[in-house]
Amino acid sequence: MGVRILGIESSCDETAAAVVEDGARLLSSVVASQVATHRPYGGIVPELASREHLRAIVPVVGQALVEAGCSLRDLRAIAVTHGPGLVGSLLVGLTYAKALALSLRIPLIPVNHLEGHIHAVLLEEGMRQGAEIEFPALALVVSGGHTMTLLAGRSGNRFQYTVLGKTRDDAAGEAFDKVAKLLALGYPGGPIIDRLAPHGDAAAVRFTPPKTKGNPLDFSFSGIKTAVLRYVQAQAMAEEIEPRREALRTQPAAPLEWYLRMCSRRTLDLVASFQAAVVEDLVSRSVAAARQHDVRSLIVSGGVACNSLLRRRFRRLPPADAMPVYFPSPALSTDNAAMIAAAAYPKYLESESAGLDVPADAGLAL
């Protein structure tokens, strides 16, 4: 039996546990989503998130062990997200992980959530056993809570990260969610906007790309959100939006056909134009960062990495910018614990572990 690490992740709104062997074999990955809990609010309510984590943590860890065909005694370390994230949420996973590590007398390996997202890609590439990802790499971590580019370097089992650009305001996923809330498209907004956008004309509404004073690699998504709001007001779209909001109360997870019936051409065009503008901005700033640092590969991870247009745009970079681009599968793009267990393996090999006093750190930097 190889080195089996149990990963635990509870930084935001998913309670997740997974068992990964030797950092490269995924034995199980269980994710309990809280989407239904937060849906009525159109965003994550931190107090509800901690309460749901408390309910889910024991069964989720139990299920991850059962699915991996593994008992607690087979584990060699417990890996856990200790930040960044919602502090009340982080504490649930971290406290449980500490208790497990203490009772099993095995190392506790704290993992930065953002490093986890990057390792989701390394784990899956490792499972494919193809050519290894070449470093230095440019990593774009783009989710509901984060949007940043990082320069990732590797020397054996040690990884170093330098943040090159980050959002000054909203994360890209947050912009998807807020625009979906404004247009009454349901929650979370990213997946539904992704599915509606191909039905609209992405050139219909022009959004001016944000200018970020200072670091040109920084992102900003609050301006586009406001631009969508102004467009909605100028075009008097409330008449269409409010009935949809009302109807969504009774069927929160409506099928695509329902949305297509309930959305005018103008809404579909707006959605397509919004998505195209956000994706264009993510791609162009990532490519600029990659060029500046002469990287050998691109890694794109986090919930928004599920976006089909984003994937297409990165896969079809112009020849001058083309380089290998890696995405996790959709299941490992959004929050999960496999990425946490995978990120912990090289630390395990380097005997990097923490004492039981390691704190949850909501603003933990990478």
Least spacing, CB of residue 274 vs Zn ion, in Å? 22
- CB nearer to Zn ion: give 218 or 335: 335
Least spacing, CB of residue 140 vs Zn ion, in Å? 13
Least spacing, CB of residue 57 vs ligand KG4, in Å? 18
Measured CA to CA, the distance from residue 158 to residue 148 in angstroms comes to: 21
- CB nearer to ligand KG4: give 83 or 189: 189
Least spacing, CB of residue 231 vs Zn ion, in Å? 29
Residue type for position 300: V
Residue 143 makes contact with Zn ion by CB under 5 A:
yes
Phi/psi class of residue 27: alpha, beta or left (left: φ > 0; alpha: ψ in -120 to 50)?
Answer: alpha
Measured CA to CA, the distance from residue 215 to residue 228 in angstroms comes to: 25
End-to-end C-alpha distance for the chain, whole angstroms: 32
The site for ligand KG4 (CB under 6 A) is made up of 12, 143-145, 173-174, 176-177, 188-191, 194, 302-304, 306-307, 334-335
Given ligand KG4, Zn ion, none, residue 147, with its beta carbon under 5 to 8 Å by kind, binds: none
CA 163 to chain centre: 17
Q: Is the CB of residue 19 less than 8 Å from the CB of residue 353?
A: no
DSSP string of 269-329, one letter each residue: HHHHHHHHHHHHHHHHHHHHHHHHHT-SEEEEESGGGG-HHHHHHHHT--TTT---EE---
Least spacing, CB of residue 31 vs ligand KG4, in Å? 9
Least spacing, CB of residue 33 vs ligand KG4, in Å? 9
Given Zn ion, ligand KG4, none, residue 267, with its beta carbon under 5 to 8 Å by kind, binds: none
- CB nearer to Zn ion: give 28 or 143: 143
Given ligand KG4, Zn ion, none, residue 301, with its beta carbon under 5 to 8 Å by kind, binds: none
DSSP string of 88-138, one letter each residue: HHHHHHHHHHHHHHHHHT--EEEEEHHHHHHHHHHHHHHHHT-SPPPSSEE
- CB nearer to Zn ion: give 83 or 346: 83
Measured CA to CA, the distance from residue 344 to residue 11 in angstroms comes to: 16
Residues 313-352 contacting Zn ion, CB under 5 A: 335
- CB nearer to ligand KG4: give 141 or 151: 141
Residue 177 makes contact with Zn ion by CB under 5 A:
no
DSSP-derived 3-state class of residue 39: helix
Q: Which residues bind Zn ion (CB under 5 A)?
A: 143, 335
